[in-house]
């Protein structure tokens, strides 16, 4: 490498590193706001986050960043090369060119609007009062449309939203993937329904004292690979995982004393996210190659541990006897099979976050379709409740009795996260696609999991997914690791086999 380029790269990386450190301070401010901050600290917390985020945005969109990127390319670095520097420059160029197009006024107005909208949404949901949220949804949609126009896009404006969460994804591609998923899911749900079987979930809704749930969940998280010397679990209303910097990846959960799966699978899910972040290479902290690639890939890691592993029969072959030791009174009359069936009960329900593996993606498709129509102007915010309920009826055969249990249930739209939902399903699909390949590479995986050993799978995920950072997009990573693009057939086959066995269909 030329001495000149080395100098330019150093200046660029040093600056980017500072921006990442600023971002990591915002992560802590946010984590604290959601866990321990006293109520009256709220206004000042807003000022702290606004100041640091603004500084980070200003630093990243400074002309010098653009100059450095261009000079490095002019010096001969090809962004399409296979090196780490090339991947960094490619990603930085992409982000820089995107963010520099955003007028400061739009960034500020969006930030203020979504802060307000979240409060309004919270109250609207409590009162199931869509009318009070409607003007804010209109404002958010309007701002997102402006954002898309400012940034620019190929095809439809919704592609600009997708790009924020899943680089390289397009509405067309996702529509196609979902199309391959919808019919098999609807069919499977119908067959499950007509099987007449309905596992007894009373077993998992007995009283499970929270302190023991906490101990058991933490132990499981530790054993699948979440390093607690570089992380911790706290309690929040809405569980999340956050990256506060190298050596500090935290998760949260919520315990329900009368519903064992909620916290346990929540912990496995968030641990999956955390294990991914803990597996990023931190030598180049702050550069794209040390960052997670996309929400879809991130979600594939959480769903891998929560569902593919955590809700499998093999997993509980080892863990059920442990669980019974911790909760003897609750489980002594139960068998591995009755427990396994209870945690995998399929039943169309109103709330996305409580949905089973089979019905889950239908909740996502509904949102994906409505968001598309909203951004394209084909659906007015005012008509969302009606459209929501119609799709619920069509896909799941049930209609929410009110908007709190319908279109007001998720926080995402209030904070402007349009284009986010689909990554949940992409992640679920990709988890199974990765699992198939891991299984091909290591046929002993199921036997290991039955013995409570997760090292081989973790190692495989580390080298095939985690260590790449943002070097590859979801599609590139899928092709590189599994030899084919992201597809739904593996996921469909997995669901058919698993739930076919459980329900005898």
- Active site residue ranges: 270
Q: For residue 60, which of 106, 10, 98 has the smallest C-alpha distance?
A: 98
483 is a contact residue toward a copy of itself (CB under 8 A): no
- The piece of 42-50, 366-374, 434-442, 448-456 that touches a copy of itself (CB under 8 A) is 42-50
Q: Which of 25, 89, 169, 177 binds a copy of itself (CB under 8 A)?
A: 25
* Partner residues linked to 325 by β-bridges: none
- The piece of 22-30, 110-118, 216-224, 343-351 that touches a copy of itself (CB under 8 A) is 22-30
495 is a contact residue toward a copy of itself (CB under 8 A): no
For a copy of itself, the closer of residues 54 and 66 by Cβ is: 54
Reduce the DSSP state of residue 5 to 3 states and report it: helix
Residue appearing with tokens 């009174």: 329
For a copy of itself, the closer of residues 53 and 300 by Cβ is: 53
Q: Which of 48, 122, 201, 205 binds a copy of itself (CB under 8 A)?
A: 48
- The piece of 33-41, 114-122, 128-136, 409-417 that touches a copy of itself (CB under 8 A) is 33-41
Q: Which of residues 162-221 bind a copy of itself (CB under 8 A)?
A: none
11 is a contact residue toward a copy of itself (CB under 8 A): no
44 is a contact residue toward a copy of itself (CB under 8 A): yes
Shortest Cβ distance from residue 467 to a copy of itself (Å)?
Answer: 18
- Residue count at the site for a copy of itself (CB under 8 A)? 37
58 is a contact residue toward a copy of itself (CB under 8 A): no
Q: Which of residues 278-317 bind a copy of itself (CB under 8 A)?
A: 285
Q: Which of 51, 351, 353, 493 binds a copy of itself (CB under 8 A)?
A: 51
Q: For residue 97, which of 13, 153, 142 has the smallest C-alpha distance?
A: 153
Tell me if 418 sits within 8 A of 370, measured CB to CB: no
Distance CA 82, CA 85 (A): 9
Order of strands across the sheet with 249-253?
A: 233-235, 249-253, 241-243
369 is a contact residue toward a copy of itself (CB under 8 A): no
For a copy of itself, the closer of residues 250 and 345 by Cβ is: 250
Q: What are phi and psi of 484, to 5 degrees?
A: -145, 160
For a copy of itself, the closer of residues 184 and 246 by Cβ is: 246
Q: Which of 38, 328, 443, 483 binds a copy of itself (CB under 8 A)?
A: 38
For a copy of itself, the closer of residues 41 and 401 by Cβ is: 41
* Partner residues linked to 250 by β-bridges: 242
C-beta atoms surrounding 71 within 10 Å: 17
Distance of CA 398 to the CA centre of its chain: 26
Shortest Cβ distance from residue 46 to a copy of itself (Å)?
Answer: 10
Shortest Cβ distance from residue 9 to a copy of itself (Å)?
Answer: 20
Give the single-character DSSP code of 252: E
DSSP letter for each residue of 263-293: HHHHHHHHHHHHHHHHTS--TTTTSGGGS--
Tell me if 15 sits within 8 A of 88, measured CB to CB: no
80 is a contact residue toward a copy of itself (CB under 8 A): no
The tokens describing 149, both together, are 């126009």
The tokens describing 198, both together, are 């309905």
Q: Which of residues 224-283 bind a copy of itself (CB under 8 A)?
A: 227-232, 234, 244-248, 250
Sequence-distant (6+) residues with CB within 8 A of 398 are 348, 349, 350, 392
Distance CA 126, CA 122 (A): 6
Give the single-character DSSP code of 75: T
Tell me if 399 sits within 8 A of 275, measured CB to CB: no
Shortest Cβ distance from residue 222 to a copy of itself (Å)?
Answer: 13
Q: Which of 5, 11, 15, 45 binds a copy of itself (CB under 8 A)?
A: 45
* Partner residues linked to 253 by β-bridges: 235
43 is a contact residue toward a copy of itself (CB under 8 A): yes
For a copy of itself, the closer of residues 24 and 170 by Cβ is: 24
Q: Which of 2, 4, 6, 41 binds a copy of itself (CB under 8 A)?
A: 41
Reduce the DSSP state of residue 235 to 3 states and report it: strand
Give contact residues for a copy of itself (rule: CB under 8 A).
Answer: 18, 21-22, 24-25, 28-29, 32, 36-45, 47-48, 51-52, 55, 227-232, 234, 244-248, 250, 285
């Amino acid at each position: 490498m030329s001495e000149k380029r080395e100098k330019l790269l150093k200046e660029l990386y040093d600056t980017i590193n500072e921006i990442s450190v600023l971002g990591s301070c915002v992560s802590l401010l946010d984590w604290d706001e959601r866990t321990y901050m006293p109520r009256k600290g709220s206004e000042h917390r807003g000022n702290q986050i606004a100041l640091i985020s603004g500084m980070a945005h200003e630093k990243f969109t400074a002309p010098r960043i653009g100059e450095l990127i261009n000079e490095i390319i002019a010096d001969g670095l090809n962004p399409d090369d296979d090196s780490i520097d090339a991947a960094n420059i490619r990603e930085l160029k992409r982000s820089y060119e995107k963010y520099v197009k955003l007028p400061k006024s739009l960034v500020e107005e969006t930030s203020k609007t979504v802060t307000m909208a979240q409060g309004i949404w919270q109250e609207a949901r409590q009162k199931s009062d869509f009318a009070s949220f409607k003007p804010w949804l209109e404002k958010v949609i309007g701002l997102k449309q402006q954002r898309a126009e400012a940034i620019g896009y190929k095809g439809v404006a919704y592609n600009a939203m997708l790009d924020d969460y899943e680089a390289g994804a397009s509405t067309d591609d996702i529509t196609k993937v979902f199309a391959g998923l919808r019919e098999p899911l609807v069919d499977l749900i119908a067959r499950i329904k007509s099987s007449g079987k309905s596992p007894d979930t009373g077993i998992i809704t007995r009283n499970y004292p929270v302190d023991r749930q906490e101990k058991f969940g933490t132990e499981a998280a530790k054993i699948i690979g979440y390093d607690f010397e570089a992380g911790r679990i706290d309690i929040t209303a809405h569980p999340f995982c956050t990256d506060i910097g190298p050596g500090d990846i935290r998760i949260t959960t919520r315990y329900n004393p009368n519903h064992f799966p909620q916290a346990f699978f929540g912990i496995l899910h968030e641990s999956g996210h955390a294990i991914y972040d803990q597996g990023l290479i931190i030598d180049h902290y702050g550069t794209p190659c040390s960052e997670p690639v996309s929400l879809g890939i991130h979600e594939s890691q959480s769903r891998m541990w929560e569902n593919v592993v955590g809700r499998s029969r093999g997993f509980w072959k080892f863990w059920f006897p442990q669980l019974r030791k911790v909760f003897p009174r609750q489980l002594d009359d139960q068998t591995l099979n009755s427990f396994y069936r209870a945690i995998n009960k399929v039943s169309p329900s109103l709330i996305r976050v409580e949905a089973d593996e089979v019905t889950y993606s239908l909740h996502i498709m509904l949102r994906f379709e409505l968001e598309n129509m909203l951004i394209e102007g084909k659906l007015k915010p005012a008509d969302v409740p009606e459209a929501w309920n119609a799709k619920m009826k069509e896909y799941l055969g049930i209609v929410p009795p009110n908007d709190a249990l319908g279109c007001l249930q998720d926080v995402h739209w209030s904070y402007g996260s349009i284009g986010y939902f689909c990554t949940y399903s992409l992640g679920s699909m990709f988890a199974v696609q990765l699992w198939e390949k891991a299984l091909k590479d290591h046929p002993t995986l199921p036997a290991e999991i039955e013995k409570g050993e997760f090292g081989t799978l973790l190692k495989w995920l580390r080298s095939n997914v985690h260590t790449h950072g943002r070097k590859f997009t979801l599609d590139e990573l899928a092709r590189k690791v599994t030899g084919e693009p992201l597809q739904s057939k593996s996921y469909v086959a997995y669901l058919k086999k698993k739930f076919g066995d459980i329900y005898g269909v």
